[in-house]
């Protein structure tokens, strides 16, 4: 499980989506949210958009692996698709905030890698939020004031990437993913492989 967090506007969504697009066995966890869709967002692609009563019912059904209130809206990670992906041997990427990151890591401490994306400067962060032009000025101000709070959580993460250049930041994220994927403990097939290796002779295989 690869958790990617950042303040809104630091580029986490583009980086995450590219990593998922480039890796067939890495699935993106699609969250449920009570916030309304932004222009261009599609039901089931960015989020599953639900109303508050439905969200509360899902909490009551224990349907979320984790959920949190962010920017006055609720966001939650549906449990079932994550479990199904992991059972298929896929990895799962979560684009969630620091509260979700902490919760998922507490539930599966050995199977979670947390990456935090930082903007190169607060000026860049504001510019990116404004360029997105999907949120009102008041919403942008609220997101900026939350950004400092989120950035303060950087110490809870295993890796931190400064996104001053998309291609560099993406290469770093991909390196982290590949290295963590290659860890001995994450490759259960290695035990039988080595056992077989040690039982082999050195003659050329038929």
- Where on the chain is the footprint of ligand 5GP (CB under 6 A)? 8, 31, 35, 66, 68, 70-71, 75-77, 95-97, 99-100
Q: What is the DSSP letter of 142?
A: H
Cβ closest to ligand 5GP, residue 56 vs residue 187 = 56
CB atoms within 10 A of CB 40: 9
When CB distances to ligand 5GP are compared, the closest residue is: 100
Query: SS3 of 43, please?
Result: strand
Q: To the nearest whole angstrom, how small is the minimum distance from the Cβ of residue 70 to ligand 5GP?
A: 4
Q: To the nearest whole angstrom, how small is the minimum distance from the Cβ of residue 98 to ligand 5GP?
A: 8
Q: Measuring CA to CA, which residue among 14, 38, 13, 7 is closest to residue 136?
A: 38
Cβ closest to ligand 5GP, residue 107 vs residue 187 = 107
Q: To the nearest whole angstrom, how small is the minimum distance from the Cβ of residue 73 to ligand 5GP?
A: 7
Cβ closest to ligand 5GP, residue 127 vs residue 186 = 127
Q: To the nearest whole angstrom, how small is the minimum distance from the Cβ of residue 206 to ligand 5GP?
A: 52
Query: SS3 of 135, please?
Result: coil
79 burial (CB, 10 Å; 0-12 / 13-18 / 19+) is middle
Q: To the nearest whole angstrom, how small is the minimum distance from the Cβ of residue 138 to ligand 5GP?
A: 14
Cβ closest to ligand 5GP, residue 53 vs residue 205 = 53
Strands 47-49, 2-5: pairing is: unpaired
Cβ closest to ligand 5GP, residue 26 vs residue 70 = 70
Alpha carbon distances (Å) from 109 to 14, 49, 98, 105, 177: 26, 29, 15, 5, 17
Strands 159-162, 2-5: pairing is: unpaired
Per the rule left: phi > 0, alpha: psi between -120 and 50, beta: everything else, 89 is left
């Amino acid at each position: 499980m690869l958790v990617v967090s950042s303040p809104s506007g630091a580029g986490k969504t583009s980086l995450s989506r590219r990593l998922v697009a480039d890796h067939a066995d890495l699935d993106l966890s699609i969250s449920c949210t009570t916030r309304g869709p932004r222009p261009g967002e599609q039901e089931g692609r960015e989020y599953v958009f639900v109303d508050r009563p439905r969200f509360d019912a899902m909490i009551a059904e224990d349907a979320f692996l984790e959920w949190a209130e962010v920017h006055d809206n609720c966001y939650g990670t549906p449990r079932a698709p994550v479990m199904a992906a992991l059972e298929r041997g896929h990895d799962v990427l979560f684009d969630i905030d620091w509260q979700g990151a902490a919760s998922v890591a507490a539930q599966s401490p050995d199977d979670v890698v947390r990456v935090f994306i930082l903007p190169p400067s607060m000026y860049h962060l504001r510019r990116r939020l404004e360029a997105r032009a999907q949120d009102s000025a008041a919403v942008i101000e609220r997101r900026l004031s939350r950004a400092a709070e989120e950035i303060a959580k950087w110490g809870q993460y295993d890796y931190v990437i400064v996104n001053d250049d998309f291609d560099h930041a993406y290469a770093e994220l991909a390196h982290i993913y590949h290295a963590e994927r290659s860890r001995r403990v994450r490759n259960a097939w290695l035990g039988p492989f080595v056992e077989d290796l040690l039982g082999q002779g050195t003659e050329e295989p038929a």
